[in-house]
Structure 1
Amino acid sequence: MCTPFQIYFSQEMLDDLRARLAATRWITEIDNSDWMAGTNKAYLQELCAYWFNEFNWEQQQQYLNTFRHYTSEIQGSTIHYIWEKGRGNSSIPLLLTHGYPDSFVRFLKLIPLLTAADEEGVSFDVVVPSIPGYGFSGKPIAPGMNPSKIASVFAALMQQLGYDTFMAHGGDWGSTITELLARQHPDQVAAIHLTDIPFIHLFEIPPGELSQAEKEYLEKGKQWQQLEGAYAMIQSTKPQTLGYGLNDSPAGLAAWIIEKFYRWSDHPGDLEAVFTKDELLTNLTIYWGTETIHSANRLYYEMAQAMASPQKTTTEKLATPAGVAEFKDLIAAPRDYAERLFNVQRWTEFDKGGHFAAMEQPALLAGDIRTFFSSL
C-alpha cells in the first residue's frame, strides 16, 4: 500500500542536537588546509557553528515536504520514496537511486527538470526511494540487505506503483543497484543511465587484452583505494565499531560525511562554491535525526559479505541499453572498459561537475538523462 508521508523532526530532537553541538570536544590539528589528513578543523567548526546558530531545519523541512513523499511495505521493509508525476502528454517511468554519503536529497534539483515536459510533450514520472537503512526508509533488522536484495525491493516497488517497465538511473551505490536491477529484472528495466561504472568492477580483471586506458584505470583504482578508500574498508569490515561514535556526536558525523563532499566534488578548493551550508546540513540533519549513519555504513559490510560468498557474480555483458554520463568523478572509467560490461548506446563526458552531479550540475545531468531515455 502506498501511504502518504510527511517529514517531521521533533523540537526535542533538535534541542538535543544543539546541546550536543555545544558540548563538542575539539581535537588539535597540525596544518591541514588541504584536507589531506581528513576534514579541516576550521571549516568543520564554522559549519557546526552555523548548524547551532543559524541553520533553520523547520524551513528545510517545509521545503522537503513540497515534494510528494510516500512509504510502502515491500518484502518486509518500509521504503520511503518521493513520487512525482510528469507534467507532459507522455511520461516515462524513471527510478532514481542515490548513493553514499548522500540521500534522496541528491535528486531534489533534478526532479522538477525531469517532470517538466519538453517540446515534444515528453516528461518523466520520477520515483526516488531512500535505500533501506538510509533516511526515512526502515533500518534492516537482519543480515542480507545487500545491493542485490535492494534491487529486488525496488523492482517490487515500481511494480506496486503500476509500472511494469521503467527506466533507471543511479550513481555511487545507485549505479550498483541500477546495474543489478537490469541484470535481475531485464523484463522490467527497459534501459539504464549511470554517472559511474560500479566500483565492484575495479576488483575484477576482465579476460582478454587490456587497452592502455583500461590498465591505467585499474591502476588508478588501486591507488585510490590506498589513499582514499580507508572509509570503505572500515565500513566493509567493522561498521558497528564506527557507528557508536558517529551516532553519538553530530560534529563527528559531520566530519565523516563532509570530507567526502569536499574530496569528491568538483570545486576550486571551496566546498561552498558548489554546495550551500543549508544543502550540506539538510543532508546531515536527515542522517542525524533518523539515526541512520550506522545502517547506511553497514551496506558496505553487506556488500563485502555478498562478494565473499561462493556464488559467482555474473560479469557477462548486460544487454539492456545503457547511457553513461561521466563527470569529474573519483576514478573515471574509459569507454572501452565500460563496453565490456554494458551495452553502451550513449557516452557523454562533462568537464565540470563531480561525484554528486545531480546536486552540482543538475541541468547537465537532466539533459543527458532526457536525451538518452527519450531517444529510446
Structure 2
Amino acid sequence: MSVNIRDFHIDIPQSTLDDLQSRLGMTRWPDPEPVEDWSQGIPLRYVQEVAEYWRDEYDWRRCESTLNAYAHHLTVIDDVDIHFMHIRSPETSARPLIMTHGWPGSIIEFMDVIGPLTDPVSHGGDAKDAYHLVIPSLPGYGFSGKPKETGWNIEKIAQAWDVLMNRLGYDRYFAQGGDWGALVTSVIGVQNLGACAGIHINLVVVGSPPEYIMQNPTPEEQASLARFMEYQTQGGGYAEIQRTKPQTLGYGLADSPVGQMAWILEKFQGWSDSDNTPDDSFDRDRLLDNIMLYWLNNAGASSARLYLESFANPNVDPVQMPTGCSIFPNEIMAPSRRWAEHRFKNLQYWGESSKGGHFAAMEVPELFLGEVRRCFGNMEL
C-alpha cells in the first residue's frame, strides 16, 4: 500500500458522547406544528420520541465496532485528508468499485451491501459478482477533512477519486453513486480520465428536458416533471439555505444535536417509501448511526458547503462512458430513458425498481444490489 495512505481507527472519546447526552437532556423545544402532517416540517412529537431514544437507548459503541470491523484509511489529496473504507474481496477475480454517498447520507448507507458485494458466495451469490470496494467520505463529511478553501466542487472531487483509486493500485475501476455521489460519479464519466471503465448512478441528473420531450411528454415524463416541481416548491428550501448561507446554518447544527437530527431525518421521510415516519423504511439505529457521523465530526456547515460549490449550476455535460442508471420510484428526480439518453450517450443499462427512493442502498439493499450487479455484470474493465 502507498506510503501516502495511513490506517485509521474510529475511537470517539467518551467525553464527546457524554457531551451529547448532556445536550440532548437540555433541548429547548419549539411549539408544536399546527397541522397533522409533515407539510410544515418534521413533527415535534416524532422528534421528541427519537431524541429520547437517542439519549436513553442508542449505543454508538455498537456502530463504532461495526465500522471498525472494516479497514479504514486516510490519504491527503490537494491538502485535504480523505477518509475511505477499503474492503478487498476474497475472490481473485473481483473488480474494483468506488461507491460515493451524498447528503444527508454517509458511508453508513452502504453497510448492508458491503458483504454481498465483496463476498457474494458467502451471501448466496456468484463469485463473478465480487468487487473490491472503496467507499470514501466526501470532503467535509464524516471522517474526511474539511476544505479550508473554496473550490471543492464535484469536478474536483471526481478528479480526487481518480487519484485515490490509482493510489490504491487500481488502474481500472468502476464507479457508483447516489445523491451527490451520483453527480460526482457522472462527472467521472464526463472527465473520462482513462481509468474508469463504467459508471452506475441511482440519481439520474440530466438537466432540462429537450424540446422534443417538452412538446410531447409521456405520462411517465409528466409525472417526473411534476414530482421535481413539487420538490423545488415544497422540498428544496434546505438546498437554497445550504447553497447560499451554509455558515449561518452551521451555528445551529453545531450547537444542537436535535437540530442536526431533525435537519437530516426529515429528508429520510420525504425521499423514501415512508408514509408516516422514517421508521417505516429504515432501522432507527441505522438512521442515528448516519446522524452521528455528522454530529461527532461537527459536519453540519462543512457538508453544506458542497451545495455552495455545485448546486446552482451542476455539471450536466454529455457522458460518453458506459453508463447504467437505476430509477427508484420515490426518488427526487426520475427521468425517462429517452430523457436520460440525451445526456448519457452510451447507456448500457436501465433499471426501474418497484419500490425504494433516494437512499436505495439503505432502504432496499437487495433491490439496489440487483441493480448494481446487472449494470456492471455486462461491462468490461
TM (norm. structure 1) is: 0.93
* Equivalence for 1:135: 142
Superposed displacement of residue 121, structure 1: 4.2
How many residue pairs match? The answer is 367
Once the two structures are overlaid, the 10-residue window that deviates more, 268-277 or 144-153, is: 268-277
* 2:53 aligns with one of 50, 60, 72: 50
Which residue type is aligned with residue 242 of structure 2?
A: Q
* Equivalence for 1:206: 210
Superposed displacement of residue 186, structure 1: 4.2
**Distance in 1 separating the partners of 2:35 and 2:266:** 12
Moved segments of 4+, more than 6 Å: none
Instruction: Tell me the SS of whatever aligns to 2:134.
Output: strand
Superposed displacement of residue 136, structure 1: 0.2
Superposed displacement of residue 352, structure 1: 1.1
* Equivalence for 1:320: 321
Listed one character per residue, the Cα deviations across residues 19-62 of structure 1 (whole Å, up to 9, x for unaligned) are 11111100111344421110111110011011111111112111
* 1:233 aligns with one of 234, 240, 246: 240
| Preserved contact between residue 91 and residue 125 of structure 1 (Cα < 8 Å) | yes
Listed one character per residue, the Cα deviations across residues 203-251 of structure 1 (whole Å, up to 9, x for unaligned) are x453555440346534542332011111111111111111111110011
Instruction: Tell me the SS of whatever aligns to 1:86.
Output: coil
Superposed displacement of residue 276, structure 1: 1.8
Instruction: Tell me the SS of whatever aligns to 2:63.
Output: helix
Superposed displacement of residue 195, structure 1: 0.6
Q: CA RMSD in A?
A: 1.7
**Distance in 1 separating the partners of 2:23 and 2:375:** 47
Superposed displacement of residue 345, structure 1: 1.2
* 2:158 aligns with one of 151, 167, 179: 151
TM (norm. structure 2) is: 0.92
Instruction: Tell me the SS of whatever aligns to 2:126.
Output: coil
**Distance in 2 separating the partners of 1:6 and 1:107:** 18
* Equivalence for 1:289: 296
Listed one character per residue, the Cα deviations across residues 297-348 of structure 1 (whole Å, up to 9, x for unaligned) are 111011147x39xxxx5623x2111111111212311111111011221111
| Preserved contact between residue 243 and residue 293 of structure 1 (Cα < 8 Å) | yes
Superposed displacement of residue 15, structure 1: 0.9
Q: How does 1:157-196 map to 2 (within 5 A)?
A: 157-196=164-203
Against the structure 1 CA distance between its residues 57 and 209, is the aligned structure 2 distance closer, same or farther, given a 3 Å change threshold? Answer: closer
Superposed displacement of residue 71, structure 1: 0.8
| Preserved contact between residue 182 and residue 204 of structure 2 (Cα < 8 Å) | yes
Against the structure 1 CA distance between its residues 259 and 82, is the aligned structure 2 distance closer, same or farther, given a 3 Å change threshold? Answer: same
* 1:115 aligns with one of 114, 118, 130: 118
Identical pairs, percent: 39
Listed one character per residue, the Cα deviations across residues 144-203 of structure 1 (whole Å, up to 9, x for unaligned) are 1111111111110001001111101100001100011111134111111111112xx44x
Against the structure 1 CA distance between its residues 13 and 80, is the aligned structure 2 distance closer, same or farther, given a 3 Å change threshold? Answer: same
Once the two structures are overlaid, the 10-residue window that deviates more, 276-285 or 164-173, is: 276-285
Superposed displacement of residue 80, structure 1: 0.4
1:72 paired to 2:75: yes
| Preserved contact between residue 168 and residue 189 of structure 1 (Cα < 8 Å) | yes
**Distance in 2 separating the partners of 1:52 and 1:215:** 44
**Distance in 2 separating the partners of 1:314 and 1:127:** 25
| Preserved contact between residue 196 and residue 333 of structure 1 (Cα < 8 Å) | no
**Distance in 2 separating the partners of 1:32 and 1:71:** 46
| Preserved contact between residue 33 and residue 40 of structure 2 (Cα < 8 Å) | no
**Distance in 2 separating the partners of 1:232 and 1:120:** 41
**Distance in 1 separating the partners of 2:358 and 2:227:** 16
Superposed displacement of residue 371, structure 1: 2.0
Instruction: Tell me the SS of whatever aligns to 1:212.
Output: coil
Against the structure 1 CA distance between its residues 79 and 336, is the aligned structure 2 distance closer, same or farther, given a 3 Å change threshold? Answer: same
Instruction: Tell me the SS of whatever aligns to 1:193.
Output: strand
Which residue type is aligned with residue 327 of structure 1?
A: F
Instruction: Tell me the SS of whatever aligns to 2:94.
Output: strand
Against the structure 1 CA distance between its residues 319 and 247, is the aligned structure 2 distance closer, same or farther, given a 3 Å change threshold? Answer: same
| Preserved contact between residue 78 and residue 137 of structure 1 (Cα < 8 Å) | yes
Q: How does 1:83-102 map to 2 (within 5 A)?
A: 83-102=86-105
**Distance in 2 separating the partners of 1:223 and 1:62:** 40
Against the structure 1 CA distance between its residues 352 and 314, is the aligned structure 2 distance closer, same or farther, given a 3 Å change threshold? Answer: closer
**Distance in 2 separating the partners of 1:128 and 1:290:** 18
- Structure 1 residues without counterparts, runs of 5 or longer: none
**Distance in 1 separating the partners of 2:161 and 2:229:** 31
| Preserved contact between residue 186 and residue 320 of structure 1 (Cα < 8 Å) | no
Instruction: Tell me the SS of whatever aligns to 2:85.
Output: strand
Q: How does 1:11-30 map to 2 (within 5 A)?
A: 11-30=14-33
Once the two structures are overlaid, the 10-residue window that deviates more, 118-127 or 77-86, is: 118-127
**Distance in 2 separating the partners of 1:235 and 1:287:** 15
Once the two structures are overlaid, the 10-residue window that deviates more, 171-180 or 4-13, is: 4-13
**Distance in 1 separating the partners of 2:129 and 2:317:** 34
| Preserved contact between residue 88 and residue 122 of structure 1 (Cα < 8 Å) | no
* Equivalence for 1:332: 334
* 2:350 aligns with one of 347, 351, 368: 347
- Structure 2 residues without counterparts, runs of 5 or longer: none
